[in-house]
Chains A and B, each alone.
Chain A
């Protein structure tokens, strides 16, 4: 569904991504993990078209994504739930969800999607008339995910949904993401720093370090890899 090949991105001479390739198949749950500054968000921004790449290609459902302007990409079926939530603070909760449904696909099934969103996140129904800027961090994250779902996407991209949240809230968010994947069969691309939780959910994972994919494979392979265990999971030290 999504194919990234040999992607390179630089910010003013500084390499953020070099030769990154990854593939997301229909219905899969793919996770990209890595430390701060590894280029995870840059990868997402490039897929969304906010950052132009220096080289490489991105194909989405057979279409050359780089040939389309950033504002087209939501209409093609890519929903980007950005890092730091980025809800429309001066709009109400309901208006935020309506903005998510801006693409044609979202408008067509709006009533049904809204019902689904309220089933997943009942708090958003309670707070529908509240300004999004007045929500707590966890609620804003729920709203950001709801806004992404409202577009009726084929691919849901989640950038660090656990960032800055209390562990219990983050766990709840992970539960919902997994529920969305299982019950709605939505294809998901997740970027996370909370490696253990993120890898647990995925079909296949990629490890991104300083702009390069250093390791990739199915869940089991990654969990058994010494480097992953030492650097990200904090286990394996007892063996050395």
Chain B
């Protein structure tokens, strides 16, 4: 009987890990896009995720603009959080981040990394505390009946059942669609090629007639938007405050480093791996120690495979 319970728990952790992991993967992809193209480590990424969650909240519950969509409302709101945060991030790049990145700092002694560290950390503080002023400290949630119900799947071994939380499964599917869409955008379109060229060699990209500053702005806004969609999806199954970014930024960094800095699909799988680690550690560890488990894996990766699971030891000209 113990073996039965163990199996059931393990299977459920596995499935939950995959489902949550896809959402983590989506937020990691946003961070990775920004780092991969701009070489900027964005410490405010968690707070852009928070903005996404609040955007979704106000669209569905707060102002109720999307309430008419019923059960689909929260997910439509999450997706709409993307363009909203895209616009905000566009302005943030225009006024702040572009001052310390891109061609402006290319070739300078530290490549602008100190400036970027301070600007993005400062931005994180402003967003967190600005959020506290605007949104208040009351935990919010985008309530949907789906987050309290599950599909039950019989696996056919004894009476082992897998529970699939409906809200999470739908969120997971949305995340996969967004990641695939982003991948197609980068791999197949002219814009995507221009972004990759700007990432590969900004000077040569300029010689090709690519406006590298604009490419970076698109990358920053796109990466922020993708993470914000993930935030909107998180909001459909978890309650949150303006400081939620702090929890998730840990997950994002672990996922991105795990997958290999700068590799988009690597970041996605890194996020999925983090989902697994988190859910499995929940079997053995108290919830407070879940992040500790993530860090242990993180450290192991850095010691054993510093280029990440999917990373190449990149040579940049």
Q: Given that A86-B201, A88-B201, A89-B317 are known contacts, is A74 also in contact with B207, CB under 8 Å in the complex?
A: yes
Q: Are B196 and A71 in contact (CB under 8 A)?
A: no
Q: Are A88 and B209 in contact (CB under 8 A)?
A: no
A182 to chain B: closest CB distance in Å? 25
A50 within 8 A of partner (CB) = yes
Q: Are B209 and A86 in contact (CB under 8 A)?
A: no
Q: B residues within 8 A CB of A65?
A: none
Report the separation of the CA atoms of residues A49 and B207 in the bound assembly, to the nearest whole angstrom: 9
Report the separation of the CA atoms of residues A50 and B206 in the bound assembly, to the nearest whole angstrom: 8
Q: A residues within 8 A CB of B190?
A: 102
Q: Are B201 and A48 in contact (CB under 8 A)?
A: no
Q: How many pairs of A and B residues are in contact by the CB < 8 Å rule?
A: 71
Q: B residues within 8 A CB of A98?
A: 193
Q: Are A82 and B196 in contact (CB under 8 A)?
A: no
Q: Which of A48, A71, A72, A75 contacts B212 (CB 8 A)?
A: A71
Q: Given that A86-B203, A86-B317, A88-B196 are known contacts, is A73 also in contact with B209, CB under 8 Å in the complex?
A: yes
Q: A residues within 8 A CB of B194?
A: 99, 102
A91 within 8 A of partner (CB) = yes
B33 within 8 A of partner (CB) = no
Report the separation of the CA atoms of residues A48 and B314 in the bound assembly, to the nearest whole angstrom: 28
A167 within 8 A of partner (CB) = no
B200 within 8 A of partner (CB) = yes
Mark A127-171 against chain B: 1 for CB-CB distance below 8 A, else 0. Answer: 000000100000000000001000100000000000000000000
Report the separation of the CA atoms of residues A179 and B196 in the bound assembly, to the nearest whole angstrom: 32
Report the separation of the CA atoms of residues A147 and B205 in the bound assembly, to the nearest whole angstrom: 11
Task: Select from chain B the residue with minimum beta-carbon distance to A150.
Answer: B208
Q: Are A72 and B193 in contact (CB under 8 A)?
A: no
Q: Are B200 and A49 in contact (CB under 8 A)?
A: no
Report the separation of the CA atoms of residues A190 and B210 in the bound assembly, to the nearest whole angstrom: 23
Q: Which of A50, A95, A151 contacts B209 (CB 8 A)?
A: A151
List 3 tightest A-B contacts by C-beta distance, closest first: A74-B209, A71-B211, A86-B204
Residues of chain B touching chain A, judged by Cβ–Cβ distance below 8 Å, are 190, 193-194, 196-197, 199-201, 203-212, 214, 314-315, 317
A-B contact pairs, 7 of them (CB 8 A): A71-B210, A86-B203, A88-B197, A89-B200, A89-B317, A102-B194, A147-B208
Kindly list 19 other residue pairs between chains A and B, CB separation below 8 angstroms, not including A69-B211, A71-B212, A88-B196.
Answer: A48-B206, A49-B206, A71-B211, A71-B214, A73-B209, A74-B208, A82-B203, A82-B204, A84-B317, A86-B207, A86-B317, A87-B204, A89-B201, A90-B199, A90-B314, A99-B194, A99-B205, A100-B208, A102-B194
